[in-house]
Amino acid sequence: MALVLLVFFAGLLGHLLWHGAAGLSWELFTAPPRHAGRDGGIAPILVSTGLILGVCMVTALPFGLGTAVLLAEVTQRRSWTGEFVRRSLDTLAGVPSIVFGLFGNAFFCVTLGLGFSIMSGGLTLACMVLPILIRTAEEGLRAVPREYRLAAAALGFSHASTVCQLLLPAAVPALLAGFILGLGRAMAETAALIFTSGYVDRMPASLWDSGRALSIHIYDLSMHVPGGDGRAYASALVLIGLLLVINAGAMWAGRRLTAQWILVA
């Protein structure tokens, strides 16, 4: 059974490579799309994707870490509020992305007046990835041995310094894993972005501009543009490549941070 699945996955990746490799070129990364994306490159789309992810992570990380620390380090076992936050997060994780999209459109674009913009898209995505970030960070913090906290308390550390200087650095690998998982989810998102960050494939001038994300580009090319398949495959390959780079980068950063921390400790 596992083998069958492996075959499926190999089939999927092979299929992408087979159809997409021909479309990979230098032009793809440097040129703007032409003829609705059938020709040309995806440069503005890459920039928009990066900005959307940036907004998403910059907003989601502080909230995510804060909530995770609260759940793991502050709330007690029988705390009613802690349980409530945890259950709301589990529920949020299951809200379909299209609902997030429609909600983001109504709230960020219309109510807050951000319009179709990279800002709206990033904030909507932040709402989506928050549950993943928090749950993985909480698990990571719980995995830090109890002795650390006891030792810190015995040394007279304040709770704040225990968290900031001991627990969070010790949990860096888990935090990174959560970060990667969240980023992957955000990058793969389509339905939530159509209604928020929008469809404009021009190079964005600011965060208040509409910008097309890579996954929307893939969706549009494969579903609305006759003959867009070639570029759609190539874009999908680029997306997977980006994920690989981000994974590797995060791992490298994680290793450096952990090494530094051990030196200090």
Partner 1 sequence: MYTTWWPPITLSHSRRDQLLRALLWSCASVAGLMLVCIVAFLILESAPALSHPGWRRFFTDAAWHPTEDAYALWPMLAGTLLSTGGAVLLAAPLGIGTAVFCQWYAPAWLAVPCRRLIELLAGIPSVVFGFWGLVALVPLINQWQPPGASLLAGICILTMMILPTTSLLAQASLAQADPDALRAAAALGFGRWGTLRRVVLPSCAAGLLTAGLLAASRALGETMAVLMVCGNVVQLPSSLFDPVRTLTANMALEIPYAAGRHRSVLFVSGLLLLLLVISLVGSATWVRRALRHV
Partner 2 sequence: MNAGRAWIPLLLVLAATAGCGDSPDARQPLTKLSITGSSTMAPLIAAIGKRFERRHPGVRIDVQTGGSSRGVADTRSGLAHIGMVSRALRALEQRDLVGTPVARDGIGLIVHNTNPVGALTPRQVVALYTGGMTTWRPVSGKDASVVVVNKAEGRATLELFLKYFHLTNAEIRADVIIGDNEQGIKFVAGNPHAIGYVSNGAAEYALRHEVPIKRLPLTTASAPPAAGHPAPSPLARPLTLVTTRRPPALAQAFIAFAASSHVHDLVAAHYFVPLAA
**Closer of 136 and 210 to partner 2 (Cβ):** 210
For partner 2, the binding residue among 15, 30, 99, 224 (CB under 8 A) is 224
State whether residue 161 is helix, strand or coil: helix
Count the residues of the shown chain that bind partner 2, applying the rule CB under 8 A. 39
Residues 23, 90: Cα–Cα separation, whole Å: 40
Among partner 1, partner 2, none, what does residue 84 contact (CB within 5–8 Å per kind)? partner 1
Residue numbers 38-77 binding partner 1 by CB under 8 A: 62-63, 65-67, 69-77
Residue numbers 195-214 binding partner 1 by CB under 8 A: none
Q: Is the dihedral of CA 96, 131, 60, 55 positive or negative?
A: negative
Please report how close the Cβ of residue 80 comes to partner 1 at its closest, in angstroms.
12
User: Helix axis angle, 43-69 relative to 214-223, nearest 10°?
Assistant: 130
Please report how close the Cβ of residue 228 comes to partner 2 at its closest, in angstroms.
8
For partner 1, the binding residue among 175, 196, 219, 238 (CB under 8 A) is 219
Residue numbers 12-31 binding partner 1 by CB under 8 A: 12, 15-16
Residue numbers 142-201 binding partner 2 by CB under 8 A: 164-165, 168-169, 194-195, 198-201
Among partner 2, partner 1, none, what does residue 97 contact (CB within 5–8 Å per kind)? partner 1
Query: Which residues have CB under 8 Å from 71's CB, separation 6+?
Result: 82, 85, 86, 134, 138
- Does position 225 interact with partner 2 (CB under 8 A)? The reply is yes
Hey, what are 53's tokens?
């992810």
Residues 215, 90: Cα–Cα separation, whole Å: 25
Binding mask 39-68 for partner 2 (x = CB under 8 A): ---------------xx--x--xx------
- Does position 119 interact with partner 1 (CB under 8 A)? The reply is no
Residues 1, 87: Cα–Cα separation, whole Å: 33
Exposure string of 108-127, with b = 16+ CB inside 10 Å and e = fewer, is: bbeeeebebbbbbbbbbbbb
Question: Which one-letter DSSP state was computed for residue 34?
Answer: E
**Closer of 156 and 226 to partner 2 (Cβ):** 226
Owner of token pair 């589990």: 90
**Closer of 6 and 206 to partner 1 (Cβ):** 6
Binding mask 134-163 for partner 1 (x = CB under 8 A): xxx--xx-xx--x--x--------xxxx-x
Q: How far is CA 253 from CA 19, 137, 182, 220, 259, in A?
A: 34, 17, 17, 35, 10
Contact 204, 211 (CB under 8 A): yes
Residue ranges that bind partner 2, judged by CB under 8 A = 35-37, 54-55, 58, 61-62, 110, 115-116, 164-165, 168-169, 194-195, 198-202, 205-208, 210, 220, 222-227, 257, 260-261, 263-264
